[in-house]
Every structure is written in C-alpha cells, then in structure tokens.
Structure 1
Amino acid sequence: MSETCLICDELNGAVSVPGGHLESTNLLAVFQCPILSPVTDVFPGYLFVVPQRHVPGFADLDDTEAAAIGVAITRWSRALEAAGAEHVYVARIGHGVPHLHVHLVPRWPGTPDDVSWTDVDEWPGARRVGAAAAADFVEELRHAVADSSVNRSSDGAD
C-alpha cells in the first residue's frame, strides 16, 4: 500500500468509513464513501469497490482480482437495489486518487428525471445522512447481502 494514498488509508483504517468495510478480503474491500472534511454528511449507499493492492486501473489487475471486483460490483449493486435504489450507476474516474476505486452510485426514488447521474448525490433534495445513519444503512446492506436473493452463484443449480 502507498503511504500517501487516500484509498489505502481507507483500507487500513487511517480514514474511517461509515459502518466499516461492507466486505474485506485479501483481494478487495467495499465501503460507503466516507465523510471527508468539510462535508458533514453522506449520500447513503454511495459505495467504493477497491482492490487491496495499490494499482491505478483495471488493466493493472490480475485475473483473480478482476473477477473478484466484478462479482463485488454485481453483489453490492443487487444489495442497493434490494434497499430500494431504482438504478445503480457504476463508474471509474481515477483522476484524483491513483488507486483504482469503482463508484457504485444509487439513484433513489424521488430523484427528478432531469437530474443527471453525475448529480444524483448533490441535487437539493438528495438523501443526505450523518455518520450514524450512514453506519445503520451500511448494516442494512450487510443484511441484504447475507440474504440468498442478493447472492446468486452460477453453479448451475436452479
């Protein structure tokens, strides 16, 4: 891990994330976008999926890491939809922090149709919650993922 990387600091606990890591393995972690100064609230369900290894982009992942990231994106998108999101946007921007982090951004009911995906977390009526409520929502998502309807494998069984 890098000594000067915000994502690495979120992985190692130097920067706290509301509710802690939703998932943390030797390959990846998933967590609520943290509360960073001067912001005092968060958009609930705005998640990051990140590899544990400090790499700048998808091309730098090995096949095992790439597969794990893909499964995590799917799993946590399902959890957000189970929690009521109408849509989950998936984006990788990578300009500000050179550690791959995939954004999962929910579009919650009541978001006006004219609000772009890039603004669903910032329009005046967007859901905003404090740290405690964000941690509670993270716990709800954990329960959704524990539910077998969110975790689906392709083992061929129906």
Structure 2
Amino acid sequence: MVNAKERDCFICRKHRGEIQLPGGAIYEDELLYVGHISSDSNEAYLGYTMIDIKRHVSGLAELQDDESAAVGRMLTRVSRALKACIGAEHIYSFVLGDHVPHLHIHLIPRYPNTPASYWGFGISGWPEAPRGDAAQIEEVCSRIRRCMAQDEVSP
C-alpha cells in the first residue's frame, strides 16, 4: 500500500517506473537505485549521478544499518567508475533534501581543467563542462555500468 507521501514523491514514482529518465538505472537492487540526472533543457551535466534509497526516508538519520552500509559501498563504487570511465579528477557528493524529501545523494564529477572558481557547489555552473542530451547520457551510463561491473569482479 502506497501512502500519500510516497504516491506524490518524484523519487518513489521513478522507482515504481512511472517516470523514465535517460540512461535508466545504472545500478539497482532492493535497497538502492543509481541513475543519471536529466535536465529540462536536454543538456545535462554528464556524469552527474544520484544514489537513491529505495525506501521512502527523508534523510541520513532515518537509514537502517543495511541501507547505510549499502550507501557507503555504492558511493565508493560509483566514484571509482566516474574516475576510471569518464576521466573525472575529483568527485563531489552531497545531500540536500530541501526540495525532494526522499533521501538521495548527489555525485558530481569534476573534470580536468575545471577552473577553481567552479569547484564545490558551483561545479555544474561551469559553462564548458561536458553536457549532453539523452543519447549522450545513455552512452555515459553504459560506460559507468561497464566500469562498475569490472570493479565488482576485481580482487
């Protein structure tokens, strides 16, 4: 049974398949969903991914121990893939939760030659950042999936 908060929640709707985003699920299991962001302008910052908790919780403090451990492992796996597969030199991660009250973690790659004035929260404002449409997002997601699969079997 879906309650009113979950029925209207963007992230819950995505998990139920009501909303489709370019690239689809990069990774998904019973606890987590990893996907690429999209943009209303059809030009998304390439490599900007989100880790969503499947269960509808508003913040980190509400995580169960298994969810918390899964988030930590996934942060590392996705970060490694972003560095290895798309050439990121640094990965930013943050949780806001102000606009969508369903826990999701932002992971944003910083590419080589990004001016320091755009580092941190201003990273997606860099005008020369790699941006792409749905087809380019699909391609980036495929590369990230392959890297994550290789990382899974590495010693």
How high is the TM-score relative to the length of structure 1?
Answer: 0.89
The match for 1:121 is 124
Distance 1:108 1:17 in 2: 23
How far apart are 1:13 and its partner, in Å?
2.2
1:81 is aligned, of 70, 76, 83, to 83
How far apart are 1:124 and its partner, in Å?
1.4
Paired residues of 1:16 and 1:34 also in contact (CA < 8 A): no
Letter in 1 for 2:25: H
Report 1:141-156 matches (<5 A).
141-147=144-150, 150-151=151-152
How far apart are 1:152 and its partner, in Å?
7.6
1:4 is aligned, of 1, 4, 8, to 8
Distance 1:13 1:45 in 2: 22
The Cα offsets for residues 13-34 of structure 1, whole Å up to 9 and x where unpaired, read as 2222221101111111100012
Unpaired runs of at least 5, structure 2: none
The match for 1:140 is 143
The match for 1:46 is 48
Residue aligned with 1:85, SS = coil
Unpaired runs of at least 5, structure 1: none
Distance 1:152 1:49 in 2: 21
1:94 aligns with 2:97: yes
Q: Percent identity?
A: 38
Say which structure is richer in helix: 2
Q: How many residues align?
A: 150
Residue aligned with 1:16, SS = coil
Letter in 2 for 1:123: W
Identify which range, 15-24 or 79-88, moves more after superposition: 15-24
How far apart are 1:146 and its partner, in Å?
1.2
Identify which range, 121-130 or 82-91, moves more after superposition: 121-130
How far apart are 1:12 and its partner, in Å?
2.0
